[in-house]
Chains A and B, each alone.
Chain A
Amino acid sequence: MNLRKAIGCLVLLTAALCAPLRAAAIRAGVARVDITPPAGLPMYGYFDRIEKHQLSTGTLDPLYARVVVLEAGGRRMALVTLDLGRTFNESWLGRMRAAALEASHIDVLVVSASHTHSGPNILDEYPTGGPPAWEGAVFDKVLQATRRAAQDLQPARLGTAYGNAYVGYNRRRVNPDGSVTMLWLNPEKVANGPVDTTVGVLRIDRQDGSPIAVLVNYACHPVVFGSDNLQYSADFIGPMAGTVEGAFGGKPLCLFFQGAAGDIKPYYGSTPLNKGAAERNDWTGRELGTEAARLAKGIETEASAASSLDFSDDVMAFDWRWDPRKLRDGLLRAKGPLIFQDHVGVLGEGSMPARLSLRVTTVLVNRQIAFVTMPGEPFVEFQVGWRNRCPVRSCFFLGYTNGYYDYFPTILAASQGGYGAGDSDTYVEVGAGERMLDRALVRVHEMLGELGQVPIATPWVAPPAR
């Protein structure tokens, strides 16, 4: 870690550990910008398209970056959600953090990807040198959108609700003998768990009660379109957002925050175009969107008398799960160098880090609404565990956020194996997800003032039995 980064971390940590700053009212602003890239780029998510050197041919529906800026107690957070397969590399994110801080006084930046598999490919490092021009354009657009949202800040009221939608299943089927079979296709909607059907909704209103934004949190891979699709699409997120926005007359901005979808696929996943992929994508989005809209409409937002915004940015170091040199050599042997354009990009070029540094961001709004982020594809059990254990009433779980390090299976899932659990698509040490979750829980308790920095008593006034 260089000095600048170390100082940055210390500053962030100090901010998180300080007593919460409170202000009379929380303020919110939103913005949206089209980030659809030009045709002709490699696409994200399906290795066969990369192997065949297939490039995008156009756009089914536009890809957006959506931004919500929240301000309370003199602190600002920007929640950015991208209709993309993953977030950009650490350099992009670092520059964005610095630029958003400078331009819009954003203290904590949360950049999350929806994980659509019909977006452009994004790499940690590009074999041709620098990133494509499109990435630079997105940088400018997101920065400008964040600035617009910050300029548009207005007093706001918040409210949350939970419901259920049944559009996904667990694609790892654990057999009676303990082995795992991947259930890649499931159009018959055979129930297979664990699945978290919870739809979490955060509604942000103006003071007059008119909606500014509806945030939807749900765990499901946006992979209704399969690898035969060569056109950009937000997948089911597009019709979901359209359904929610339509239900409110187009007034609020709907933002989708992908949850812990590492093992969750939509029932109609990988539907070929000639088998009705577009219709099934609409069905999936509408199912989720209808439930999200129903929930959003029922929310009675409240203006907090003492609004607050607390956050913590932890960078946690983890070991590799596999010997990284053997992993790189094995991947090269088995799949060739193109594999690093699909996953394990961190091994593809340049120096091999001895350990992996993963950012976990924890945010607490008004001491009632908590967010945790993980930089990759956490298995759904983490989202369930977060909601069960988080000490505040409203808990949102964001995967695919602030970095991308592929899959985080649970310890149990890692032992069972299967895609994302026992193969080369996961390479951070087993137990990483559990530790990240525990860290976030500790942070929330700290923000609530439940974990002080000094013990409550000295031993001489202790109860007698040690």
Chain B
Amino acid sequence: MPLPRLISCLLGAAALATGSHVRAQALEAGVAQVEITPPPGFLLDGYPDPGLVRTATGARDPLYARVLVFKAGATRLALVDLDLEDVFSPDYIAKLREATSQDVSNLLVDAIHTHSGPPLDSSPSSPVGAWYAASVGRISSAVHEAAARTVAVRVGVGYGVAFIGHNRLRIEHDGGISWFEKNWTGTPNALVDPTVAVLRIDDMGGSPLAILVNYACHPVLYGPDSRLYSADFPGVMTAVVQKAMGGKALCFFLQGGAGNINPTHAVSSLQQGAVEFCRQAGTELGGVAARVSQGIQTSASADPSLQVAEDTVTLQPRWNAQKWRAAHPEDAEFIASLTRPEYKAPVTTVLINRQIALVALPGEPFVEHQMQWRARCPVAHAFFLGYSNAELDYFPTIRAASWGGYGASHSSTWVQVGAGEEMVDRGLIRVFQMLGRLKPTPEDLQP
């Protein structure tokens, strides 16, 4: 472990252990953006493509990596927001950590989950692997750039609601679950979290530096017939917000617990009007986010702080691999690729100024986890990030797992039932620790 990160981790651990937080002169932030649009020719990810025909012919809109570096005292966090379907594989995350270790103490990588991005297969020997490696290099430079240009900032949070999504697991009258991919008529379907949470970061003069938009919805407006890279509706959304803020702020999309949430016009064909549907969804969400952003009064904390906890939760496999192989011998290779003795799930918890909490889960958490997090988190503002730091597919709730359906009882969920609940609990415990409300010594034995 590089020395700066080691020191920072020790400081962080000490802060958690004592229940106190590291006070800083100021909260600082810096941003950077780098384009990572791949070259044409890669297979697009996100939809079944057994014939391997979904080759990208170009880009509908550029894919970016956006970087926000937060600094307070010795803690320096880089939030890397990728216009990809999922975050990089563990090897590339590790390389990014190593490459940025002189600039930041903690790294949080999230993906917006667009289904019009490059494939996840990133073996170093493949052309895709070379692109991944080059992207990691560009992103580490962006982290360096953002870290170098940090300025003292003020922050503020606002909320709105947008109704661009629906729950794609529909509970039928007989208790069964049906796949509710498209909802063109906007039929109400529980559960959806329409909350648009916005974190605005201004410099001390009040000029916006970054707008972080947190919302839960699959970016799947474009269907499998699209052959162009795209950030889907988040690409439109970020452009709308950035324009509304006078081009001064960089807008991030922090995908939430979107595991069971589709946009109403999901998986539209180009002929059906996917381009327009994507524009509409992104514009609607962006409009709400921009309005909320413009109304936020940022402030500088009298006691600025930044606390970060990076946990690894060990999870058991959900399926009995032996029985699975016996039931589907034709899938033996796929099953072998998924099943492990255990899974390591990274959970990152961040607390800014003791008022704004972020929890970042890997994979695709169901929206109920996001709602639970917001309901139970003890600070005023609670952001929930899925698709962060590792790709572990779906995390249904216990109840949803029992109901079944895609992502709930399907091979697209691999880890033990209850994993999402456990990770949310871990995040909550960390926030309580950061607030000093879980002391390391029993209260009747305090010195």
Instruction: Decide if A463 touches B179 in the complex (CB within 8 Å).
Output: yes
Complex interface residues of chain B between 323 and 380 (CB less than 8 A to chain A) = 323-324, 327-328, 330-331, 334, 376, 378
Q: How far is the CA of A426 from the CA of B266 in the complex (A)?
A: 49
Interface stretch, picked from A124-132, A162-170, A356-364, A411-419, is A411-419
Stretch at the interface among B75-83, B191-199, B394-402: B394-402
A462 touches B429 (CB 8 A): no
- Residues of chain B with a CB closer than 8 A to A391's CB: 399, 402
A462 contacts B398, CB within 8 Å? no
Interface status of A354 (Cβ within 8 A of chain B) = no
- Which of A322, A414, A427 is B440 in contact with, Cβ under 8 Å? A322
CA distance A278 to B208 in the complex (A): 70
Within 8 A of A (CB), among B236-271: 262, 266-267
Contacts of A430 in B (CB 8 A): 429, 432, 438
Judged by a CB distance under 8 angstroms, whether A272 is at the interface is no
Which residues of B sit under 8 angstroms from A453, Cβ to Cβ?
A: 319-320, 323-324
Min CB distance A95 to B, Å, is 30
* A window 390-436: CB within 8 A of B: 391, 411-412, 414-417, 422-424, 426-427, 430-431, 434-435
The answer to whether A457 and B410 touch across the interface, beta carbons within 8 angstroms, is yes
**B421 contacts A434, C-beta separation under 8 Å:** yes
The residue on A at minimum CB distance from B263 is: A465
Size range of the chain A interface in the assembly? 35 or more
> A431's contact among B330, B403, B426, by CB below 8 Å, is which?
B426
A439 with B418: in contact, given A417-B443, A457-B411 (CB under 8 Å)? Answer: yes
B2 at the interface (CB under 8 A from A): no
Count of interface residues, chain B, beta-carbon cutoff 8 Å? 59
Q: What distance in Å separates the Cβ of A254 from its nearest Cβ neighbour in chain B?
A: 34
Flag if A415 contacts B181 (CB, 8 Å).
no
Stretch at the interface among B102-110, B125-133, B216-224, B299-307: B216-224
Interface with B: A25-33, A244-252, A442-450, which one?
A442-450
- Docked pose: A453 CA to B428 CA in angstroms: 30
Interface centre among B47, B403, B417, B428 (most CB of A within 10 A): B417
Assess the A438–B422 pair: CB atoms within 8 A. yes
Task: Enumerate chain A residues within 8 angstroms of B416, measured Cβ to Cβ.
Answer: 442
Residues of B within 8 A of A417 (CB): 437, 443
Taking the complex as formed, is A464 at the interface, i.e. its CB lies under 8 A from any CB of chain B? yes
For the complex, give the distance between the alpha carbons of A453 and B417 in Å.
11
**Minimal Cβ-Cβ distance residue in A for B327:** A454
A448's contact among B46, B402, B429, B432, by CB below 8 Å, is which? Answer: B402
Contact B417 A445 (CB under 8 A): yes
Please indicate the chain B residues that have their CB under 8 angstroms from the CB of A21 in the complex.
none
Which residue from chain B places its CB closest to the CB of A429 in the assembled complex? B429
Contact partners of B330 in chain A: CB under 8 A: 458
Contact A460 B432 (CB under 8 A): no
Asked if A6 CB lies within 8 Å of chain B CBs, one says: no
Contacting pair A445 B401 (CB below 8 A): yes
Question: Once the chains bind, are B115 and A423 in contact (CB under 8 Å)?
Answer: no
A334 within 8 Å of B (CB atoms):
yes
Residues of A within 8 A of B (CB): 322-323, 326-327, 330-331, 334, 389, 391, 411-412, 414-417, 422-424, 426-427, 430-431, 434-435, 438-439, 441-442, 445, 448, 450-460, 462-466
Query: What are 28 A-B residue pairs whose CB atoms fall within 8 Å in the complex?
Result: A322-B442, A326-B441, A327-B442, A330-B442, A330-B445, A391-B399, A411-B428, A411-B429, A414-B432, A416-B437, A422-B439, A424-B442, A424-B444, A431-B422, A445-B401, A445-B417, A450-B404, A451-B417, A453-B320, A455-B319, A456-B409, A457-B410, A462-B406, A464-B48, A464-B267, A465-B267, A466-B47, A466-B412
